[in-house]
Amino acid sequence: MIYPFLFKRPSIYPLYKRSKAVITTPKGALLLKRLLQWGPGISLCFGIAIFADYLNQWLPIGSITLAIVMGILIRNLIKLPDTFSAGITVSDSHFLALAIALMGVELDFNLLLSLGPKPLLLIATCIPITILVTRFLGNRWQCGKEQSLLIGIGTSICGSAAIAACHNILKAKKSDIGISIAIVNGVGTIGIFILPVITQKILGLNDLNSGLMIGNALQAVGQVLAAGFSLGPEVGQTATLVKMARILMLSPLILILIGMHMKEHAPDWQAMKKGIPAFIIGFILCSLIPTFHLLPAPQIQFLSHISDTCLMIAMAGIGLNISLDGMISKQKKSLALGSVSFIIQLILSYLFLRLYLG
């Protein structure tokens, strides 16, 4: 009985009447139909994202990894009705595009200038070598060109975000995206516990070099924070700064991959329009916001939170589209590739520190 009473109120009834008029139009009816089609799948992905974020308090492997794993488990253990398909597809495409575009608000290019030349040289040296060697080994081990590149990119730059940002340019399969993210984050999670021991107990590095190595080797920001600050504030701050600089390398890498894609396929302008996704342009434009201080910090933090939420929803959708049938042997090879790629990043970091920084 409360609803008719509310609709009679002057402040609410006109809004209800206009909404009803919009829905009765052809476009409004189409929109309502789409929302009803997408609703179940999007709701499922959103629920997985919330639960993954909640579980991350006790399973610190990253909410993104948890969202993918939960999606994979649901897909392979439960037969979902077809009513979920449309919303899941929207989640792993449109939500992912929005998440990638908004990732740019976390990238402040002024950080590059604050690091000085040597740490930047460390980053610029390790990223291409790790990607190229990982791709070479992946081809030898028959992991697939796209998955090998995704693992190399995720290991060398910023894990899930880099994989999510580059997969569309590489035309990677959803299964390759999910496996790459799970492996890169899984290996990085192990690195949280072993890197503090390696840097100071085994290699005997000082706080500065320990921070440089941790910031240059681990994939996700959360992993870097956990490992770095476990050794003290100086190590943690240095590692975080290096990690932020690695993330900034994502924009140049995206442009390089787009250029390579254009060169291999069709260099005409029509192909260029198709080859550069809108979310990549959005990503680059959003990166200008923190660089030139176009918005205050609270608003940037709010946009970053939206990006993280959309990314978890998208990862849940990707997981729900991954079938494990016939993929066991490939996963073993991919896991080995991800582990070797991480070791390569560690070795390169240590050699650079010894040769150039002492």
pLDDT single digits (tens) 44-53: 999 999 999 8
What type of residue sits at position 255? L
Mean pLDDT, the chain, whole residue set: 79
What type of residue sits at position 290? P
pLDDT higher at 229 or 54: 54
Confidence of residue 1 (pLDDT cuts 50, 70, 90): very low
Collapsed DSSP state (helix, strand, coil) of residue 295: coil
330's enclosing H/E stretch is helix 328-352
pLDDT greater than 70 at residue 9: no
Confidence of residue 111 (pLDDT cuts 50, 70, 90): low
pLDDT greater than 90 at residue 137: yes
CA trace torsion 287, 288, 291, 297 (10° rounding): -80
Residue 227 near residue 212 (C-beta atoms within 8 A): no
Identify the pLDDT of residue 329.
52
Identify the pLDDT of residue 7.
42
> Hunting for tokens 């396929």 — which residue is that?
265
Distance in angstroms (rounded) separating the CA atoms of residues 289 and 296: 9
pLDDT greater than 60 at residue 6: no
Q: Is 14 exposed, middle or buried (0-12, 13-18, 19+ CB in 10 A)?
A: exposed
Residue 245 near residue 123 (C-beta atoms within 8 A): yes
Poorest-confidence range of 10-14, 75-79, 85-89, 227-231? 10-14
Identify the pLDDT of residue 274.
45
Poorest-confidence range of 156-165, 198-207, 265-274? 265-274
pLDDT greater than 60 at residue 224: yes
Orientation angle between helical segments 278-291 and 297-320, nearest 10 degrees: 150
Percent of the chain with pLDDT over 90: 20
Distance in angstroms (rounded) separating the CA atoms of residues 262 and 244: 29
What type of residue sits at position 232? G
Mean pLDDT across 220-226: 75
Q: What is the CA radius of gyration of the chain?
A: 22
pLDDT greater than 80 at residue 100: no
> Hunting for tokens 């809004």 — which residue is that?
15
Mean pLDDT across 6-29: 52
> Can you say whether residue 336 is alpha, beta or left, with left for phi > 0 and alpha for psi between -120 and 50 degrees?
alpha
Encoded tokens for 31: 């929109």
Encoded tokens for 281: 């342009």
Task: Give the CA angle between residues 318, 342, 236 to the nearest 5°.
Answer: 95
Residue 61: partners with Cβ closer than 8 Å, 6 or more residues away: 185, 186, 189
Mean pLDDT across 189-212: 88
Going from the C-alpha of 345 to that of each of 45, 48, 219, 301, the distances in angstroms are 33, 32, 10, 30
Mean pLDDT across 61-72: 81
pLDDT single digits (tens) 267-276: 444 434 444 5
Mean pLDDT across 179-208: 86
Identify the pLDDT of residue 285.
87
Distance in angstroms (rounded) separating the CA atoms of residues 315 and 65: 8
What type of residue sits at position 257? L
DSSP string, 221-260: HHHHHHHHHTT-HHHHHHHHHHHHHHHHTHHHHHHHHHHH
Distance in angstroms (rounded) separating the CA atoms of residues 354 and 358: 5
Distance in angstroms (rounded) separating the CA atoms of residues 180 and 159: 9
Closest C-alpha among 337, 350, 339 to residue 187: 339
113's enclosing H/E stretch is helix 110-115
Poorest-confidence range of 3-12, 135-144, 298-307, 321-330? 3-12
CA trace torsion 269, 272, 278, 284 (10° rounding): -110
Identify the pLDDT of residue 296.
92
Mean pLDDT across 342-350: 93
